[in-house]
Amino acid sequence: MHKTRQQLSLYIPNDSSNRIESVRRVADPIQHRLIPAHLTLCREDEIERLGGIAKLAGRLANMPLKPLTLSFGSPQVFDGHGLLLSCLAGEDTFHELRQYLLGSSYIRLQKPHITLSHPRNPKSSGNLPGVAAVLPEIMLITFPTVYHIEQYGHEPWQVLNKFALQG
């Protein structure tokens, strides 16, 4: 049985994504094929609890929040061969955006991060120590757009809608 999943994500803008995508392409070609480098903003279970994306449409179309700027540090290994960039600064504004979208301050705490290699995928031959050495020690990234995306089964994620963070 193929399941359709939807979520809200913040894709890494093109001006910041070249180095990150070059690492993802080698460290985890499966994940690289499925979805561009991103931060997951709201997962499918959160959207379903609200009654679906239609319930979020008004908030998404009229977001009073400015583009989100976050700082990320050096890559960290997790769960064996997983590799991620943790957020160093700006987590509070990420959480504010989630609260706004979900309409509550009583939401799950979600740590913003960028996954370079996902441990659920088989370890790639390119997932070696030092694969992420091309990345700077600290990356400052501004996210101007919220993406409503969907995945059918194990197919690549598709963008359904884009919503600008204009302030």
Does the structure show a pLDDT above 70 at 5?
yes
Examine the pLDDT at 126 and tell me if it is beyond 90. Answer: no
pLDDT tens figures, 128-150: 878 888 888 899 999 999 999 99
pLDDT in tens, 11-63: 999 888 899 999 899 999 999 999 999 999 999 888 888 777 777 778 887 87
Q: What angle do CA 77, 82, 84 make, to 5 degrees?
A: 65
pTM confidence score: 0.90
Domains of the chain in sequence order: 4-164 (3.90.1140.10)
Give the CB-side neighbour count of residue 128, counting CA atoms within 13 A. Answer: 5
The CA–CA distances, whole Å, from 10 to 47, 75, 80, 127, 162 equal: 15, 19, 26, 24, 10
Local structure of 45: helix, strand or coil: helix
